Amino acid sequence: MNPIVQFGSHVRPSSTENASRLPIESIGHAHDEFLRLGADIEVLEPAELRERISATARALARTYADTETGNPSAHGGN
């Protein structure tokens, strides 16, 4: 499996002009490795990997949303 990804801070989901195919061993492994790159990468394919990363990003956003208002979340914030 070779997911299609884009690198850089100005990635566009509909554009594959600057996309690359990268070999991976599994969806789980790719998920963990690509998350390390934060917002500097966007997975375009496969859909299963894109959806899994999207779900993780939403969960992280919920976890850290309260820190913007100064209210640590109930997940162990001080």
12-64 pLDDT per residue, tens: 555 666 788 888 889 999 999 999 999 888 898 999 999 999 999 999 999 98
pTM, rounded to two decimals: 0.70
Separation between Cα atoms, residue 51 and residue 34, nearest integer Å: 13
Measuring CA to CA, how many Å separate 27 from each of 9, 31, 51, 56, 72? 23, 6, 11, 13, 32
Residue 53: what pLDDT?
Answer: 96
